[in-house]
Amino acid sequence: MAVDPDEGLVTDLMIGLWFVIAADLMALTGFAWVGGYVSRALFVAVTVATNAVFAGWIGWRWHAIRRAQPADRSALEELKQQYAAGELSEQEFEHRLDTLIDTDDAIATTDMDPLHDDTAAADDTTPADDIAAGRDDRLRRCYPSRRDRR
């Protein structure tokens, strides 16, 4: 059975089957126990067994999802591992560490900075300019004036 990590740990199928099978079995044995048809031990055994089966299923999915995800080590972790193993000298480690930090800083400032958005419109207008010029009617839709209500 293939496991899709994007589906989550507990799936809709698991919840549905728990309600259809486990909850029904627990309810039936509970009513039978209250009615005097089965012993308390049987009710407890059915409750523990059905919940243990579903807990085992969740545990199996957790392990399968962990195995399906790659052990993605960061570049910093690999660098530390190489230095700890003695594969790099202290100078080489510091040089690579500086390069790595500079690269991460460059990526963070260009990719994540909204002030350096290359996809902005060519006319460089801001949303406030659009609202002031009447080109943006979002405020008008949210807060109609008396003239617009008529």
Per-residue pLDDT of the chain (150 residues; tens, 9 = 90+): 677 777 788 888 889 999 999 999 999 999 999 999 999 999 999 999 999 999 999 999 888 888 876 655 677 778 888 888 888 888 888 888 888 887 766 666 665 545 555 555 455 666 666 656 655 555 555 555 555 555
> In a 10 Å sphere around its CB, with 0-12 CB exposed, 13-18 middle and 19+ buried, how is residue 29 labelled?
buried
Q: Which residue has the tokens 């617009």?
A: 148
Ramachandran quadrant class, 39 (left: phi over 0; alpha: psi -120 to 50; beta: rest): beta
pLDDT of residue 124: 62
DSSP structure class, residue 53: H
Three-state SS at 134 = coil
Contacts with 40 (C-beta within 8 Å, 6 or more apart), sequence order: 33
> b or e along 116-149 (b: 16 or more beta carbons within 10 Å of the residue's beta carbon)?
eeeeeeeeeeeeeeeeeeeeeeeeeeeeeeeeee
pLDDT of residue 67: 80
Ramachandran quadrant class, 8 (left: phi over 0; alpha: psi -120 to 50; beta: rest): left
